[in-house]
A and B are shown apart, each in its own frame.
Chain A
């Protein structure tokens, strides 16, 4: 039986009955900031979002103005970080990935999201369509802050939050799956919080 620190709870808040959270997760107050590098500082006039298809061709591209002119949604979702914190009923504003892929012809089965700062994360294409994912530019009624991924981040709430790539700049459609930054270093390739798929082999 390993040592227990008397009286230690960590940052987790006591909210019994607040809602169903996945196994091994705990609710937190606040919104922890986790980063693998410095916050990128891409100016909005230099920002774009591209969809690259499986042939390597740019299938779609939006500047910031064009992106913000797209129809947006305001999903309220629960989010779960692999480091064990969860937040329920977080409210976002952004463009559904379905909208971004509307005019894209593809037979790809996988997607690799890429961000400023060389971060990538991979997902099956079916996990980012049919209302399951957004590129979000607003959080909690305000512009998304840089430390939380602003100007825009991917939002894929049904998977662990490392899949919701901060500072996202585009999606690459792939015929074959390609592990991203954390998936290539021990984290689970899929990342379903309800099955505690944190590490490879889980």
Chain B
């Protein structure tokens, strides 16, 4: 970890980092029990490019917002120092049985809880050491930083979207993003943000006999693809405000996993960047649309982050 200077922290980069367990499965890391022959290379190569791009940064911590830590009462933040266990994907246990051993930046986690609460959000620190970390968190973190040499902070996806509507959910995620940024700045961390979201998210309901059989892989329907390309083009052209304005429709029309709020949270934390994002890859996983996209403020005059 680099030396941290309270008050001088910053977000060094943010990435849309989708979490299909298929990608970890296809990488064959030693932590994962199942093994694959191949699969989803375009997305995995995209993650390679992201990792290469992030090498220029000194990073203290990864903050990840995960849809698969599902909570319904407010926002929860992982806040115990160490977690070690086996994560078995409840949907694809045949692909993902991952032995993880990770550290958590508790000071930053508690700061995020405090900043969120000060902003009027419902916040809860998760301090139970026997808690099993969700596979979305693990997948995004592993693909962005397979060395597992940095502490993380994981934030749950709350169901505000379901209780109220997409607009209210987005508003809360933007507030949570701003609170996250303030916590990063106050604790002096240099933070990488990961939004663990797919884009369009209608799955196939049957799985090929060989999961990595790429002849079976395609987007679920053309409407999803059109929406995904539209949103990616908005990212590439720095039109984040327009993207957020259209987010409620995207969620409804493309069954988007962005409903879980991770992308909106990250864009809020980045300060609604108006510079172009770098698209490293787009690909489908069991019908869902996924993109690896990087926002790198240092290449655009520092940016508001």
Q: Please indicate whether A and B come from the same complex rather than being unrelated chains.
A: no
Interface residues of B (CB under 8 A from A): none
Q: Which residues of A contact B (CB under 8 A)?
A: none
